[in-house]
Amino acid sequence: MESVALPITVVIADDHEVMRMGLRTLLQAAPDIELVGEAADGDAAQRLIAQLRPRVAVLDLVMPGASPADITLWAAQSHPETAVLVLTAHDRDYYLSQMLDAGAAGYLDKNERGEALLDAIRRAACGQVLYTPEQRQRARDWRENVQTVWESLTMREREVLRLMGEGLSNRDIGERLGIAEKTVGKHVSAVLDKLGLNSRTEAALWQRDAGLDGDNTQGGKLPIRKGGNSPYKDG
């Protein structure tokens, strides 16, 4: 008597109902895939993974609650039977590198054809890792370039960058650091020049995506990108 293959159980998470509806329709039409749960945020997705233990979790990159990176790291420790695929409309090297480092099985563009997603789910369920050589090279370049930029900043410039990220004006930064406002302006100009950026807003976004905070401005390996190829410039 032939054994019947069990369907691939899948949980999806996206904060947009229209996107979840599209995924639901796609998955329900696949005979070898069973949609077992839906979530509108990261926290709910995490609860469903713990409760249902799907073979694959398909997560939106940007949604409220726990981030896909945090969920992936948690799943690897607590539920290694669940492979995580990330769907994104933000094909930036920082996010790609972050998800690859976290251990996601794949990083897919939301504009991919439905059949490509179904194929990715099937491959992830079999334990395959789906990053292309081009994606891996992009992630390597990101890490290498960012470290070069970070090491080019002086300790004072790192402090100024952190405070710029908090939204402080030059005057407020000067008061915080005990230096003249004119001196702060020179540091700001130096930071923007080394990052290859044009504005404080771009620098704040750069700092956010690099994972910088008040405790790691003194050095270390950081996921930052060289300014000449910045994702924060217009266009």
Question: Is residue 72 exposed (0-12), middle (13-18) or buried (19+ Cβ within 10 Å)?
Answer: buried
Q: Give residue 225's pLDDT band: very low, low, confident or very high (50, 70, 90).
A: very low
How would DSSP label each residue in 13-55?
Answer: E-S-HHHHHHHHHHHHT-TTEEEEEEESSHHHHHHHHHHH--S
Mean pLDDT of 20-43: 96
Assess if residue 1 is contained within a domain: no
Q: Give residue 145's pLDDT band: very low, low, confident or very high (50, 70, 90).
A: confident
Q: Are residues 96 and 148 in the same domain?
A: no
So what's the pLDDT on residue 3? 53
Tell which of 73, 108, 131 closes a domain: 131
So what's the pLDDT on residue 78? 95
Q: Are residues 94 and 44 in the same domain?
A: yes
Mean pLDDT of 216-232: 40
Tell which of 72, 106, 131 closes a domain: 131
Domain that holds residue 53: 8-131
Tell which of 102, 131, 160 closes a domain: 131
**Mean pLDDT for all residues in the chain:** 86
Assess if residue 100 is contained within a domain: yes
- pLDDT for residue 212 is more than 70: no
So what's the pLDDT on residue 224? 36
Give the chain's domain count.
Answer: 2
Assess if residue 171 is contained within a domain: yes
The edge-to-edge listing of strands for the beta sheet with 8-13 is 33-39, 8-13, 56-60, 83-88, 106-109
Q: Give residue 226's pLDDT band: very low, low, confident or very high (50, 70, 90).
A: very low
